[in-house]
Structure 1
Amino acid sequence: MKKHSGMRPHDIVILLKIIAKGKEQWYMKDIANELYISQSEVSESLNRSMMAGLIASNKKRVLMSAVQEFVFFGLKYVYPQKPGAMVRGIVTAHSAMPLVNKIQSNQNFVWPYSEGSQRGFSVEPLHPNVPKACLKDVKLYELLSLLDAIRLGSVREQKMAMDELKERLN
């Protein structure tokens, strides 16, 4: 087995994709195709997640409490984000569901995406293909938007995102 050289941002995207699938059966090739990531990268990612204790040794069952702990207490430090320039893209963080109806703000945050319809401050997604993948998977989109609210938001926004995420992970 390879040495664990640390988690990568897309490892979280892959774990959230598995969570979004729920009880639906999946194969690595499905995850790769739906996230626009190579099968070998998905395989390596699952190995890293297994070594980090975020997925079971069979690489099929996500260890929800471990993922929740990492997302709530480590994500914003390991993959920090500050809003960038105004761009066109797809809304994220508190600008997207499920927080958009709970948090009023005059500023939008978006993942830069040429086919996006919204303008806002640029937020780098955890993987470049996240916007494209999220347009085809609403559950994944909501999970990743909540992660961005944790990465970007104020304490109040982070708490609301954590509460929403906790509901979806349990």
Structure 2
Amino acid sequence: MKSNNNLKPQDILILLKISTLGEQEWYQHTLSEDLNISQSEISECLTRSKYSGLIDASRKKVNLLNLLEFIQHGIKYVFPQQPGPIVRGIATAHSASPLDKEIQSDQNYVWPYARGDMRGQAIQPLYKSVPKAILKDKKLHEVLALVDAIRVGKVREQHLAISLLKERLQHTQ
């Protein structure tokens, strides 16, 4: 039986987490704990990402240019999202740092989370564990919020998010 090598949304989450770590050494079990994703799923992600050219052959270093290209040009088509009903949650897209300082809006976007501190239109995160994972990782929160701005934002927001995302991730390499 042939395995499916198509990317899954959690692959982007895992690759972004690895990217925010920069040169810091990481292990699958620590990624698993930090992201609330099983070790087997982390391993499968790394295999799919290697196949897609988003991580190197050693499965340790993200091919940042390829990842940024995919996020810039493909993520809104491969993992689309539409704002949903008003819910309590954690700020994302233009409602979260760093875009909240650049873009003024009457409408907030949030990842649904019962313990969140903001009300706004629901944006489903790339993976269900995102709200818990970002509570202890500000860098990850920022890059995922920028990715959501690319997924659901208007053209101006998308361009600003792409620029800020490149800036943040290239400084970690």
Task: Name the TM-score, length of structure 1 as normaliser.
Answer: 0.98
Map 1:12-161; keep pairs closer than 5 Å.
12-161=12-161
User: Percent identity among equivalent residues?
Assistant: 53
The offset of 1:135, in angstroms, is: 0.6
The offset of 1:4, in angstroms, is: 3.8
Provide the secondary structure at the position in 2 that maps to 1:116: coil
Contact 2:81 2:151 in 1 (8 A): yes
Q: CA RMSD of the aligned region, Å?
A: 1.1
Cα distance in 2 between the residues matched to 1:25 and 1:5: 26
Where structure 1 has 5 or more consecutive residues not aligned to the other structure, the ranges are none
Cα distance in 2 between the residues matched to 1:169 and 1:63: 11
Amino acid at match of 2:67: V
Where structure 2 has 5 or more consecutive residues not aligned to the other structure, the ranges are none
**Where does residue 165 of structure 1 map in the other structure?**
165
Give per-residue Cα distances to partners, 1:33-75, cap 9 Å, x unaligned. Answer: 0000000000000000000000001011000000011000000
Contact 2:5 2:51 in 1 (8 A): no
Provide the secondary structure at the position in 1 that maps to 2:157: helix
Amino acid at match of 1:60: K
Cα distance in 2 between the residues matched to 1:153 and 1:98: 14
Cα distance in 2 between the residues matched to 1:131 and 1:3: 30
Cα distance in 2 between the residues matched to 1:155 and 1:168: 20
Give per-residue Cα distances to partners, 1:121-149, cap 9 Å, x unaligned. Answer: 00000011101000100000000000000
Task: Name the TM-score, length of structure 2 as normaliser.
Answer: 0.96
The offset of 1:24, in angstroms, is: 1.0
